[in-house]
A and B are shown apart, each in its own frame.
Chain A
Amino acid sequence: MKTSRPFIFLMLFSLLFLPGCWNSRELRDLAIVSGIGIDKVPDSNEYRVSLQIVNPNAVAGSKAGGGGQGMLPSIVYSSVDHTLFSAMRKTSQKVPRRLFYAHSQLFIIGETLAKEGINELFDMYERSHELRLNTSVVISRGIEAEALLNVLPPLQTTSAVAITNGLKVASDTWARSLDKDITDIVKSLSGSGEPIISGVRVVGDPNKGKKRSNLEQTPPLANLEVKGIAIFTDGKLTDWLEGKAARGAVWALNNMKSTIVNMNCDDKKEKISIEVIRSTTKLRTVMRNGKPVFLIQVKEEGNLSEALCPINPDKREVMVKLQKQLADETKKEIELAIKTTQQKKSDVFGFSTEMERTHPKEWKKMKKNWPVIYSQSEVEISVEAYIRRTGLRIKSYLKSGDG
């Protein structure tokens, strides 16, 4: 043992200088993929996979790299093949470096592909150790996923980063979109529910967005916008929830972080803004007469943040009225969302999972016919709303008509 130790060390050292060294990869040999886009090749069974690769020199702008200027922050390569993974590998023919996926933050599905079905897209993600399961997923609306990746966004380095961050921020503060990742989608696809994915579109001319000139003027020629939530039936995109319906879905899914609800002020339409700051939603299923009934219980808190009419929250009845208005508005929006999904027979809210958990016996019977049962079931929504604060003022400076 003793005599062999120097020998072992010698061996270890000599191994280091062997080429390859198995899994050892130098950073400068890696092409860091920041986003992956998938489109359907028209009239064929193949996928086009587009990979957005970051150019670290242009992004980090360090002086060690020398020239960072003049380089584009990201480059998009795409390849076509029958499976996603092989199309990704195929891209290696075009990229002078080894593709590295562990930092890809975004998975974009083209709308055309989504309409044909997304069921089979995620197996690669589950098997691979490099791809992250917490990658955000979006659907590119009215455009190919590749085109979305091609846009050079202002304020962010790459469009993948811009969409990921934008989606997060928009979902948390505006609540008309959802930041869903691969795990969530695989969970819904493997169960009896349906996935729900936010949409992103390009505002402006996508072709001009590819050029550096996009960044040289304001407003940019092409910009990215998070808009709408796609609902699926049997894994196929069937409808988009927009605006209030989208927000209703966010509420029902208990993803509400914060949003602004506008309400009527006497006869002025939508002139009071309530900022919802906290909201929790509970889904319950109960069996009534052998039929499932879904209960949605929302409990929310908000602040009065703007009133374009003279109201006096000093009075208890005013606040109670506001609270009731908020609850009604919430209820209305959720109903809107539920109605749309029921029409499309798309159980995006996870009632199936809830049934499975709380009524395992009944569930076994309903399992096969679930989409139909879902579309016909009764939904009861109850909202408890509280308006806690009114900001730094109580009364408005506007003079009320009746003095």
Chain B
Amino acid sequence: MSQPTKSNRKLLIGLVLGSIGMFGFGFALVPLYDVLCDTLGINGKPQGTASSYEAVVVDKERTITIEFIAQVQGSMPWEFGPKVNRIQVHPGELTRTAFLAKNLSAKPLVGQAIPSVSPGQGAAYFNKTECFCFNQQPLAAKADAELPLIFYVDPDLPDSIKTLTLSYTLYDITDKQTAAIEQGAAR
């Protein structure tokens, strides 16, 4: 008599474990997504850490146009923009530029700039040796700052790409500061 009950229970346990497993899989999609985007280089997300500039050969034959754009997310009372909007570089050439930020409000705020490169396939070739986006940017009330960016374009950049656009979106993380530090503000 216990035979069907037993097989019911066995199947039941298997199916319940299956659905718990799929619940876990939903969360596993989060790191999986990042890994896939990184390896395939499809999300326009440049590397979140500083690259080293060693033994890079400058390719004088090619010229790449680099465009900079910046926006402030939501109603954050900051002015934020690139110092120059567009520069021409040779692949492999180390270039220095900067963004300008100004806190217009009467209280100190912390910003976090999130970069994105378009076209997305170019993101993997956009190397930064120094970037303000690796850290948070605290600014006192009414203060301003020049935020440095030193980068080079990998000479292996596919020939089809002639222009790279680097976009920064500035988020107000004054309230979320602690959470942001834990979650990898290094990006």
Determine if chain A interacts with chain B: no
